[in-house]
Amino acid sequence: MSEKALSPGFVLGIIVLAIYALYPAVTGDSYILRVFILIHIFAILAASMDIIVGYTGQLTAGHTAIWGWGAFFSAWSIMYAGLHPFASIFVAGAVGAVLGLGIGILCLRFRYLLLTLVTFSILILSYALARHFAQYTGGELGIHGVPELASSKIIIFYVSLAFLVATIVILQMIGRSEIGLRMRALKDTEEGAKVLGVDVVKYKVMANVIGSFFAGIAGGLYTTYIGGVGASIFFVDHLLRLILMWGIGGGGTIIGPAIGAYVIMLLGEYLRFIEEYRLILFGIVLIIILRIFPEGIYGFIRKLIYRGERH
């Protein structure tokens, strides 16, 4: 095994993951398990957005739309095609990839704020379609009675955790490969990347396809855990939370946004008594964290680890 693989950061990550994986065996608290399962799903979603925003600099605001349609196609494939809930998760991923391809090609000419507005309009359109075609989507009430992934929350905990770990490992491998380097070149300067021979169209679209595939996976996990899905999955609240996860955790790192999901979701559970003001408080927390830790929580953790290595 390489020296890099045995670095303090890697060893610490393995230890933390091992302790965390033992949690269900220590407690039978179904409420806490429910919270952690939802965190796994949103952590996958946040990490998947990072390969688009953090690597290529495409400021998408439609990532939760991909997630939502992945959730719906997962439900439809179970209810109408008779697929097993586990298989439906991969159907959702495939649908996400196709939608990501379409959105990636559609938005090639848009950049910065205009790209954000166009992708945000896709989210709004998705909500309108889900409400209008209520005979297929269930509208606001949604589709109910979707068979769950498993009867045991402990099993779902481990399955969702496995998907989260796989997502982070795969996305980090991509990020550290030549593909990831070319994607980062687009974020730094698109014109400069062109001069260096980077195919801007190819890597922008590729980032959207990869990120959207995992967003679809997150949608499939959501449906097969909740047991249903409705138009509310396209609510802007989900997008705002996703942006906070990305910013607080540290974009451009894959792991950072996943950590941000833990922070936002756990904080949200503790602050249920001020439901109406939670997003305001989250915004304040984001400003404070970015002021103290400009690279996010994960960036701060990495600095501490590397500083320890030097000493």
Give 3's pLDDT tier (boundaries 50, 70, 90). very low
Report how far residue 225's alpha carbon sits from residue 38's, in angstroms, rounded to the nearest whole number.
9
Which pLDDT tens digit goes with each residue over 216-234?
A: 999 999 999 999 999 999 9
Q: Is 10 exposed, middle or buried (0-12, 13-18, 19+ CB in 10 A)?
A: middle
C-alpha distance from residue 269 to each of 3, 64, 223, 255 (Å):
40, 21, 20, 22
Find which of 9-13, 135-139, 186-190 is predicted with most confidence, using mean pLDDT.
135-139
Confidence of residue 24 (pLDDT cuts 50, 70, 90): confident
- CA separation for the pair 199, 185 (Å, rounded): 11
Domain boundaries, the chain: 30-235
Whole-angstrom CA distances from 35 to 163, 171, 241, 307 are 16, 24, 15, 33
Using DSSP's 3-state secondary structure scheme, residue 81 falls into coil
**What pLDDT sits at residue 28?**
64
pLDDT in tens, 248-298: 888 888 999 999 999 889 888 877 766 666 667 777 777 887 777 777 788
Please tell me the predicted confidence (pLDDT) of residue 2: 45
* pLDDT of 311 above 50: no
Residue 307 — pLDDT band, cuts 50, 70, 90? low
| Higher pLDDT, residue 155 or 140 | 155
Top-ranked range on mean pLDDT: pick from 141-155, 277-291, 294-308: 141-155
Residue 140 has pLDDT above 90, yes or no: no
Buried b (16+ CB within 10 A) or exposed e, 199-224: ebeebbbbbbbbbbbbbbbbbbbbbb
- Kind plus residue range of the DSSP H or E element containing 229: strand 228-229
